[in-house]
Amino acid sequence: MIRRAVAASLLAVAACLLGGCVIIQSTAWEQQEIVGDMRVTVTVCASGNSAVHPGCPITGNSGQFAGSGSVQLLLAVRLPSGVEGLPGTLAAVPAPAPPATGEVVLRPSPTYEAALQAAVPAPVGSRWVGYMSDPYTYAAGASGTAAQAAALSFDLRLPRTADGSPFFGPLPIQPVVGVRFAGSGDQPQRPVECGESPYSFDSGTVCIDSPAQIVIDSPIQIPTRDFGIVAGSATASPGQTVQIPFGVRGAGALPDGLTASLAAATTVPAATAAPSQGSAPLANGSDTRITVAVAIPRDAGPGVHDVTLTGWLDNGQARVGTARLTVRDRQPPKLTALRVKPRQLRPATRRKPRRGANVSFQLSEPAQVAGTVQRCARFAKVRRGGRTRRTNRCVRYRTLRGRIAHTGVLGANRLRFNGRLRGRALKRGSYRLTLLATDAAGNRGGPVRTTFKVRR
């Protein structure tokens, strides 16, 4: 199920420096799994004359003849901006040995990237990733010795789309290779400078030995395979079962008969999630519509939750689509622990503005609190010993004009009541305070009451 393609660099040409020619001999790639990372291997070779050291072309960008010496290999890859995964170092042991002199190690080189971007700007949506090796002693070897070659491999992570769609290839990449002379007095970490032309030998450096300039603008198009899950969204109320849409999509030359097993889950507490079918076929351009049914409990609180649909291949590779489920607020705020302290108050005046009382209560969520005040208009009476007496139990209240308003927060709340409504002091008597909380979604809690007295 894995395809391998090797692009021999028939158009690649050599550049021969004081330290040797360096050429992209071939670029190979393979998707090691059904989908996922792409492993790319760039094989470079170094030789000054293919007749003396067979294996590398003899023509080059710089026209310099190769000799032996200490060099630094330059390697860069132009990639789409969303592609990640290149390692911190690249390493290979050139062959044949002899005359190879050990491992060549390349490390990230921001100055090489900047030099290439200035000389050969990457198109919009792409970037250069550059490496430079530690100094390496190149020895051409005796006549007839094969040109030295090193295979440098790295994995490229296919870019993920924002909506979960698969990556639709091909993946355009363009490797380039260069070299610079590393004399005894040169600093290995000095910035890379391309000179007037990145393709010509200048001050001991050629930034792009290979491929030829005509090839740079025509990147290698690497075929890819992928699948993804695109998620929709939904809004529902507690107690409802909602159907959330998903799309399971395939891209590239996927194996015949490939399917993805499906499973769903949600972060809504105590809720269940079930896909409309247990699997989906995958092929290039396929788009299978799936719905996930989410049964929202009646007591579910408001909020935005995830609903995920996961697709697994037989080899364990998976893709996940995440939908957003908004559960409407249908729960009224709860106002409790209403207290007026002191229970017997005196209305505030200009001379005594600190009179009044503190009203305290608890809220289960932020809410707007409205209060009304009622004055007792009739008390209950009882007849004892042939006489009728008034009790302290009020049997009829009269609502006064005026309101108390407060923006409540979650938890403990306190407001100051000065004993006045519409600027007028309450008269002496028995009163009842009623508070009503309304949350941002318009849910209104039940009225909560407590009594107090006014004395003058």
Mean pLDDT of the chain: 88
Residue 109 has pLDDT above 90, yes or no: yes
State the average pLDDT over residues 176-202: 84
**Local confidence band at 101 (pLDDT 50, 70, 90 cut-offs):** confident
Domain ranges across the chain: 4-222, 226-327, 335-454
Q: What is the pLDDT of residues 132-174, one digit of tens each?
A: 999 988 777 777 888 888 999 999 999 888 899 999 999 999 9
Residue 222 has pLDDT above 90, yes or no: yes
Does the domain formed by 335-454 have CATH 2.60.40.10?
A: yes
The whole-model pTM stands at 0.72
Residue 226 has pLDDT above 90, yes or no: yes
423 conformational bin, left if phi > 0, alpha if psi -120 to 50, beta if neither: left
State the average pLDDT over residues 358-365: 96
CATH for 226-327?
2.60.40.10
Task: Please report the pLDDT score of residue 312 as a whole number.
Answer: 97
Residue 18 has pLDDT above 70, yes or no: no
Length of the chain measured in residues: 456
Residue 152 tokens read as 């440098």
State the average pLDDT over residues 168-184: 89
Residue 4 has pLDDT above 70, yes or no: no
Residue 22 has pLDDT above 70, yes or no: yes
Q: What is the pLDDT of residues 29-86, one digit of tens each?
A: 999 899 999 999 999 988 656 667 777 765 555 444 345 578 899 999 999 998 988 8
Task: Please report the pLDDT score of residue 243 as a whole number.
Answer: 97
Task: Please report the pLDDT score of residue 5 as a whole number.
Answer: 32
Residue 387 has pLDDT above 50, yes or no: yes
Instruction: Mean pLDDT check: name the lowest of 94-103, 267-276, 352-361.
Output: 94-103
State the average pLDDT over residues 177-194: 84
What distance in Å separates the CA atoms of residue 167 and residue 321, rounded to the nearest whole number? 14
State the average pLDDT over residues 272-291: 97
- Same CATH fold assignment for domains 226-327 and 335-454: yes
Task: Please report the pLDDT score of residue 17 as a whole number.
Answer: 35
Report CA-CA distances (Å) from 228 to 29, 66, 110, 287, 323: 22, 50, 34, 10, 13
Task: Please report the pLDDT score of residue 6 as a whole number.
Answer: 32
Q: What is the pLDDT of residues 289-339, one digit of tens each?
A: 999 999 999 989 889 999 999 999 999 999 999 999 999 998 899 999 999
Task: Please report the pLDDT score of residue 48 as a whole number.
Answer: 58
Task: Please report the pLDDT score of residue 231 as a whole number.
Answer: 97
